[in-house]
Chains A and B, each alone.
Chain A
């Protein structure tokens, strides 16, 4: 696993199978970073809905951390989780080192890992 100057790189792991587009991460982040309308530290993007050839539906949401995301450094320092992770209504977000998140990623499909 790559290291950044001996320091572990951190990230967010997202289990997008269960992201419902509830917007809690977006708003929690706006409040934490005190962002104005139009600015996002994390933004949910949509893929679908679309019908697959077998008739099932494809409809995915993935929250994408932006360059404004600092992984809630202040909160983390205080011993809290990043606010998006804390408030996610589907509990689909995990914070940690890339190494431990990559390990968790082996547990199930439809997960995506963002490095910061």
Chain B
């Protein structure tokens, strides 16, 4: 038995020959999608990927790999992959296409662009992107630098409810993002002398083992547990982590701000906070002391359904730890009080003295400050053009540039009303909105149909593409692509190992090709995709080496990211003074920016817009609270449904229901059930879950069926099991951030032959929708 790495086989070089295989040591990140970039060994032969292994020499993942990457060969050579550009020949929705060349595709884009520029203004071109994929700066550059439009948005993700609230809260209060320190910032990992394990990790609103969200590899938590880290878990459902936690806080969905206030109440009134940090490094503590008084554990227990004693226990456990981390997630973003909860949880990190300490919450930037990501190309947009951003001036946080996106809900309203101007073209790169992130998916479907010209850049023919695209461009996968990753640390090369599949192109090549055609003045210095990468690595005081050098290094760890207590050392502020990047230079418990923007400068509880306290009448008809979006091991959001090996693990959409609730409704485990509210319905298979409150049910998201007919009315069955038939657009908290994706209401009943005559996909595409009138 050997736990040593075999150094003969697992080299630390970037490339080597091993028998008949060329081995490339690199990382992968998109496509397919994922938020992480694990180190891998790609075994290729004659330009074809034959095998993949986790790289045991990568300090990031140390050989471990998730099932989706292990299944990479099946993904890359899946026969359903888009192979060449396709132009629509039938009507939208008929799924009829003709193969065209890339030149013909670019001719079409260029002519549409010229027409729009001439007759409507380039601002009427809008780009939509997906989540956390390595398709961030590329569509942003296409939109802003090439087309000249300022309008980039998430693919109808209502109220930007994915990491944007949490990131924004971190930025306005601490000036930088705060990440749970599981030793991942330094190549020596746990062996680094300065590092300490978190005594306690509060896992709040995510199941990181499955989701691996925001660049945090979930199984790092298991590494910490082995070292003795104790867990507190906040989740409405029992998770593997919750089952092993010292305290599982089974929260009512959408009440996280109240819980944070209750925990802060205990921490403050029992004086469990770090007095030195509060005294010297924070602004506005007294106001918080006052605010939390009304949120007693008793009151918070009533709001959140968490027993008072557990709230007190969790507060003491977290605050009494010498160093404690909070691994937080998407559930915090997906509620009305997303920003408020995010601010309060950030305050909890701060006043307990856990900011930028070993085993606490470390302040992180993108490695070597590389990568403008979604904000790329903003420097090419004039002040006058910025003013044309859709919906931006109705939201102070958007206006102030804390996000490079336009508000997705406002975009939908604009597409419906044509005000302030009609959208002429959607450019969708790495996003499949109606299958995945769009709230009120049928409404978004109808709005997208109205746009005169739509381009989808993707891997497979998706429901979104069939429904509304006029042109579909096939992209290369990660193993076929030269790129790099700077999301947190280390800086990682993504090295091309395999030939591009059929006539696909990399996202980078598409940027270059379009740039050369439409804005040659801005692209004359670039001849290859690698020229871009060199520029992106080096510009604005970046690294002093080229992409080819990064390929050799494989990864490069930035000392700034692994330096602790940067605020004491003057490493955060541009003026070199100690302190944080905030107006007061302190950690802002009371946000001065919120004051300026006219928001309550402290967090508070907001009831979900539908629920027992807000809509008791409606709950007579829809008596269950519906939460959504729990992750699947084998599928990243709406992706991977074409992969036989992943579908073996996830054959059908599953909804979780407490057996007691199911029994009362006459539902057996394995029955197909309708989940319905006043906006619409979808059907999924009932799975008993004893760890769920009897008043809460949970439905999966992202389901469509590539094995079904693509043409409407079937449309790959995209609306049949679509939980977003029930969610909302245009409903959010006062800051415009956070939509109640995870805290709406529904009823559940058995599917029968009588009530299953018309499938939802047909109802939406042919029969005029569910009849819900937006109020």
A residues adjacent to B (C-beta < 8 A):
18, 20-24, 26-28, 30-31, 37-38, 48-51, 57-59, 78-81, 83, 86-91, 94-97, 100-101, 104
Contact = CB atoms under 8 A, between A and B. Distances in A.
B66 A49 contact: no
A20 B223 CA distance: 12
Contacts of A94: 1, 3
Interface in B1-23: 1-3, 6, 8-9
Contact of A49 (B67, B219, B226, B243): B243
| Cβ-closest 3 pairs across A and B | A96-B1, A57-B243, A27-B67
B648 A37 contact: yes
Name the prevailing secondary structure of the A interface residues: mixed
B648 A38 contact: yes
A80 B648 contact: no
Contact of A80 (B6, B242, B691): B6
A100 B71 contact: no
26 contacts: A20-B209, A20-B240, A22-B633, A26-B649, A27-B645, A31-B51, A31-B71, A31-B73, A38-B648, A49-B690, A57-B238, A57-B242, A57-B243, A58-B243, A59-B238, A79-B9, A81-B2, A86-B53, A87-B64, A87-B70, A89-B219, A89-B222, A91-B222, A95-B1, A100-B1, A101-B1
B64 A24 contact: yes
Contacts of B240: 20-21, 59
Given A57-B242, A88-B64, A31 B70 contact: yes
B56 interface: yes
Contacts of A37: 644-645, 648
B769 interface: no
Contact of A79 (B8, B54, B691): B8
B54 A22 contact: no
Most A Cβ at <10 Å: residue of B210, B243, B248: B243
A105 to B, nearest CB: 11
B634 interface: yes
Contacts of B554: none
Given A27-B645, A31-B71, A18 B242 contact: no
A80 to B, nearest CB: 6
B63 interface: yes
Nearest to A18: B222
A27 B222 contact: no
Given A89-B65, A91-B64, 14 more contacts: A21-B240, A22-B210, A24-B66, A24-B70, A50-B690, A57-B691, A58-B243, A78-B9, A79-B9, A80-B6, A86-B53, A86-B63, A87-B53, A87-B64
Contacts of A21: 240, 633
B581 interface: no
Contacts of A28: 65, 67, 70
A97 B1 CA distance: 7
B225 interface: yes
A86 B53 CA distance: 8
B64 A18 contact: no
Interface of B: 1-3, 6, 8-9, 51, 53-54, 56, 62-67, 70-71, 73, 209-210, 219, 222-223, 225-226, 238, 240, 242-244, 248, 633-634, 644-645, 648-649, 690-691
A79 B8 CA distance: 9
A47 B363 CA distance: 40
A100 B210 CA distance: 32
Contacts of B634: 23
A86 B226 contact: no
A31 B77 CA distance: 14
Given A18-B226, A20-B240, A57-B242, A89 B64 contact: yes
A97 B2 CA distance: 10
Nearest to A38: B648
A86 B633 contact: no
B649 A23 contact: yes
Contacts of A100: 1
A53 B167 CA distance: 41
A83 B56 CA distance: 12
Contacts of A57: 238, 242-244, 248, 691
A91 B63 CA distance: 9
A80 B6 CA distance: 7
A57 B62 CA distance: 30
Contacts of B65: 24, 28, 87, 89
A71 to B, nearest CB: 12
A105 B644 CA distance: 36
B225 A18 contact: yes
A106 to B, nearest CB: 13
Contact of A27 (B2, B6, B63, B70): B70
Contacts of A38: 648
A21 B536 CA distance: 39
A115 to B, nearest CB: 14
Contacts of A20: 209, 219, 222, 240
A80 B4 CA distance: 10
Contact of A30 (B56, B225, B248, B645): B645
Contacts of B73: 31
B57 to A, nearest CB: 13
Contact of B6 (A79, A89, A90): A79
Nearest to B649: A23
B67 A22 contact: yes
A89 B644 contact: no
Nearest to A91: B64
Contacts of A48: 243
A22 B1 contact: no
Nearest to A10: B1
A12 B250 CA distance: 36
B63 A87 contact: yes
Nearest to B245: A57
Contacts of A22: 66-67, 209-210, 219, 633
A38 to B, nearest CB: 7
A48 to B, nearest CB: 8
Contacts of B222: 18, 20, 89-91
B1 A49 contact: no
B64 A49 contact: no
Nearest to B72: A31
A21 B634 CA distance: 12
Contacts of B645: 27, 30, 37
B416 to A, nearest CB: 42
Most B Cβ at <10 Å: residue of A58, A59, A100: A59
A33 to B, nearest CB: 13
A22 B61 CA distance: 15
Given A20-B219, A96-B1, A86 B56 contact: yes
A69 B238 CA distance: 32
A25 to B, nearest CB: 9
Contacts of B238: 49, 57, 59
